[in-house]
Structure formats: structure tokens, C-alpha cells
Amino acid sequence: MSNPHTDDSAQLPDELPRVEPPSAGFIVQLFLIPALIVLVIVIVWLGVSRLASSEQDWRGLVADLKSPHEHLRWRGAFGLAQMLQADRDPAGDEPRLVNNPEVAKELSELLQSELRRGSKSDDDLKQQAFLARTLGLFHIPDAVLPALEEATRPDHDREVRKNALGAIAVLAGREAEKGATLDHPGLEDMLLDASRDGDPLIRQMAAFDLGLMPGDAAKGRLEVMLEDADSATRANAAIGLSRHGELTGLPILKDILRSAENQVEQGSSDEYGHFLALKNSIHAIELLAPQIQGEQRKEVIDLLSQIVKSFREPRIRVDAEKALLALRERAPAAK
């Protein structure tokens, strides 16, 4: 019996068949397509898990806000603030937390409950101010405005009132960007009352809000506020009138542009206020550009040109350049 390992007929041929390298299509079929299928499955699973965990997260954080324990309340506050901030501008058309009426209702009711409880402890007042500020992040004005209006009442803490008026400004500004107005029963009357408050800070905030309200009552009150004893209130009234298309506050806006030459301590709260006043005034000038004519136009162009040339804050210089462009593009045609 012949040995299979030594049989001549079992010897290998002189030339082996040529080995072809695998084609790109074969590699795609073998590795890439299965990998893509697995990736899609993982993404879908993560998406579903994320939606489920997101709902659990916000419910848990709202529960923490209601806790009698200080550290739990603030854990809930910061966690919820981060979720809402991260959720404001998502890609796609998925429902957003800032559009969730259940979350808005929970936080609104919590703020109203805290306001009615009337605690004056520092921690409780900080929580009220936080809740008022947070409600401005929601894109559901009708759900949050009753609580915010209640928070502006004179018997509440100054910081709570300030944050509530600031949240209303955010809501009104968002509506204005969509070409709509913030309309809610009693809102205008509340702002008119706040504009007569004895606290200059509350008048400042009310003036800013009234600039975002339509109608003659808001405009008429802003014209009166141009004579307010508080300089920041006068500035906000002038800025507000620019949104109504009124030039009445232009002298105050020019004074604010001149203040760009003032020396302000860098990094201080005064510097922040200075920058904010300049930024808002420059934007007001840009809105009024078609109506500013003659010597006033020349004077405003000179003031803006100086800011563009030498102001230390780049963002302010960019804003001033935009306003200059608006003034030059919309200059009245020569007769």
C-alpha cells in the first residue's frame, strides 16, 4: 500500500494558482456593512435609552428641588439648569425640554408655592430667584407667565423680582425674534406698575421690558422715563423707545456712546454694566439708522467711528462697525 505522504501522484504542482487580493467590494461586504448595521442598532438603542433617562433625570431633579434638604435642592437646581441650557438649541425636530409643558408647570407651581410660603431665609430666596430666572428658558409663555407676574409683586424679594422681570424680557425678546408679541392678561399693567417702583433696579428692568411691549401705553411711559432720576433707567427707556421706532431717546444714546472714552476698572461689575449699555445703545442706533438724518447722523457716525478705531473690547467694535454700515447704507438720497 502506497504511503500517501510519498505517493508521486500526490505531489504539489510546480505552480500554485495565483492568489488575488480581496476586492474593495468584498471587504465592504465582509466588514463595513455589518459594522454599520451594528452602529445603527447601537445609536437607536442609545437614543431610546437617552429619552427614557432624560425624563427620569428631570423628574428626579424637580423632586430634589422640593426637598427640605439644602444640598439636595441645589443639586436639583444646578442639574436642571444644565439640562435646560443644553437643550435650548438641539438639532432636529425632537421635542425639547424647554417645550415640555409638564416641566414648565412643575417649576411654575413650585415657584408660586415658595412665594406664598413667604420664607425670608437666604437659601429660600435664592431658590425663588433661581426658579424665576429658569422659567425664562421655556418656550411656553402661557405656562410660566402667571408665576413670573406673581414674582414681580412689590412684597417679594428684590432679587426675585429682578430675575422675574429679566425672565419676562427673555420671553418677550424670543417672541419678537419670531415677529410676534408677548401677550398675557395683566402683563402690561404689571410692567407699568413696576416702572413706577421706588427701587431704581426694578424701574430699570421694567423699562427694558416695556421696550419689548407693543402699544401706546408702553411707549408713552418710556418717554416719561427718559427723565428718570436713575441713569440706567433713562438708558433703558431710550433703548426701549428705539424698538418702538422713536428718536426721542437719541440724545441719551449719544451720551452713552460718548461714555466709551471713560476709564472703567477692567474686570469690575462697572465694566460689565458699561459694556452692556454700549452694546444695547449701539444696537438701538442700528435700529434707528433710517430715521437719523442731518447733523445728528454725522455726529453719531463720528462717535461710532471713534469706538471702532480705539475701543478695547473687540465685540463692541464689531457692533459699532455694523451700526456704521447701517447708517451709511440707509442714508437719505441726495436731492
Which cell numbers hold the place of 99?
417645550
Q: Are 161 and 151 in contact (CB under 8 A)?
A: yes
- For residue 48, give every residue at least 6 positions away whose Cβ sits within 8 Å of its Cβ, in sequence order, or none: none
Which cell numbers hold the place of 60?
428626579
Q: Are 254 and 299 in contact (CB under 8 A)?
A: yes
- Taking every pair of C-alpha atoms in the chain, what is the biggest distance, in angstroms? 122
In a domain, 41, yes or no: no
**C-alpha closest to that of 134 among 101, 111, 116:** 111
For the chain, the domain total comes to 1
In a domain, 320, yes or no: yes
Domain of 331, in residue numbers: 260-335
In a domain, 55, yes or no: no
**C-alpha closest to that of 282 among 314, 249, 253:** 253
Q: What was the pLDDT predicted at 32?
A: 55
Question: Cα–Cα distance between 243 and 4 in angstroms, integer?
Answer: 100
How does DSSP assign 212-231, residue by residue?
TS-SHHHHHHHHHHTT-SSH
Q: How far is CA 58 from CA 32, 70, 241, 317, in A?
A: 38, 18, 40, 41
Q: What was the pLDDT predicted at 243?
A: 92
Question: Cα–Cα distance between 252 and 237 in angstroms, integer?
Answer: 9
In a domain, 271, yes or no: yes
Per-residue pLDDT of the chain (335 residues; tens, 9 = 90+): 444 454 544 454 555 455 555 555 554 455 555 555 555 544 444 443 343 334 447 778 777 777 777 767 767 777 777 777 776 554 545 557 888 888 888 889 989 999 999 989 998 899 899 999 999 999 999 999 999 999 999 999 999 999 999 999 999 999 988 888 898 889 999 999 999 999 999 999 999 999 999 889 999 999 999 999 999 999 999 999 999 999 999 999 999 999 998 888 887 878 888 899 999 999 999 999 999 999 999 999 999 999 999 998 999 999 999 999 999 886 555 44
Q: What was the pLDDT predicted at 335?
A: 45
Question: Cα–Cα distance between 134 and 58 in angstroms, integer?
Answer: 14
Question: Cα–Cα distance between 254 and 171 in angstroms, integer?
Answer: 28
In a domain, 172, yes or no: no
In a domain, 311, yes or no: yes
In a domain, 36, yes or no: no
Q: The pTM is what?
A: 0.76
SS3 content of the chain, % helix, strand, coil (to 5): 70, 0, 30
In a domain, 276, yes or no: yes
